[in-house]
Structure 1
Amino acid sequence: MEPTRAMLLPGSVLPAELAYAALIEALGPDVEAVAKDLELYGDDKPPADWSLDTEVEGVVREADARGWSTFHLLGYSGGGAVALAFAARHPERLQSLALLEPAWAGRWDWSPAHAQVWKDHDSLEALPPDEFMKAFMRLAVRPDVVLPPPPASVPPPWMAQRPAGIRAFLRTFKSYELDRGMLASFDLPVFFALGARSNPDDYGEIASRLSTVFPDFRLEVFEERHHFDPPHRIEPERLAGLLRNHWERAARRGP
Structure 2
Amino acid sequence: MREVFLPMLQLPPEQRMPAFLRAQLREGVEPPSMLEGPPPPWMADRPAGVMAFVRAVSAADVPIERLKAFDRPVYYSLNSLSNPTWERKAGRLGELFPNMTVELYEGLSHLNSSHAAEPERVAAALRRLWNSEAEAG
Structure 1 length as normaliser, TM-score? 0.51
Q: Distance in 2 between matches of 1:128 and 1:160?
A: 16
Q: Distance in 1 between matches of 2:2 and 2:58?
A: 9
Q: Which position in structure 2 is the counterpart of 1:215?
A: 98
Alignment equivalent of 2:53, drawn from 159, 164, 169: 169
Alignment equivalent of 1:156, drawn from 18, 26, 40: 40
Tell me the SS of whatever aligns to 1:220.
strand
Q: Distance in 2 between matches of 1:205 and 1:212?
A: 11
Compared CA separation, residues 181 and 120, structure 1 to 2 (3 A): closer
Alignment equivalent of 1:224, drawn from 103, 107, 110: 107
Q: Which position in structure 1 is the counterpart of 2:67?
A: 183
Matches within 5 A, 1:103-114: none
Q: How far did 1:129 drift?
A: 4.0
- Kindly, what percent of the aligned residue pairs are identical? 37
Q: How far did 1:174 drift?
A: 2.4
Residue 30 (structure 2) pairs with residue 146 (structure 1): yes
Q: Distance in 1 between matches of 2:91 and 2:48?
A: 30
1:4-23 C-alpha deviation (Å, 9 max, x unpaired) = xxxxxxxxxxxxxxxxxxxx
Q: Distance in 1 between matches of 2:22 and 2:119?
A: 24
Larger strand percent: 1
- Equivalent pair of 2:6/2:55 in contact (CA under 8 Å): no
AA of the residue aligned to 2:87: G
Tell me the SS of whatever aligns to 2:34.
coil
Give unmatched runs, 5+ long, in structure 1. 1-116
Residue 17 (structure 2) pairs with residue 133 (structure 1): yes
Give unmatched runs, 5+ long, in structure 2. none
Tell me the SS of whatever aligns to 2:75.
strand
Q: How far did 1:126 drift?
A: 3.3
RMSD: 1.5
Matches within 5 A, 1:13-92: none
Misfit runs of 4+, over 6 Å: none
Matches within 5 A, 1:227-246: 227-246=110-129
Q: How far did 1:175 drift?
A: 2.2
Q: Distance in 2 between matches of 1:132 and 1:122?
A: 11
1:21-51 C-alpha deviation (Å, 9 max, x unpaired) = xxxxxxxxxxxxxxxxxxxxxxxxxxxxxxx
1:176-206 C-alpha deviation (Å, 9 max, x unpaired) = 2211111101111111100011111x11110
Q: Distance in 2 between matches of 1:172 and 1:123?
A: 14
Tell me the SS of whatever aligns to 1:178.
coil
Tell me the SS of whatever aligns to 2:10.
coil
Larger helix percent: 2
AA of the residue aligned to 1:232: H
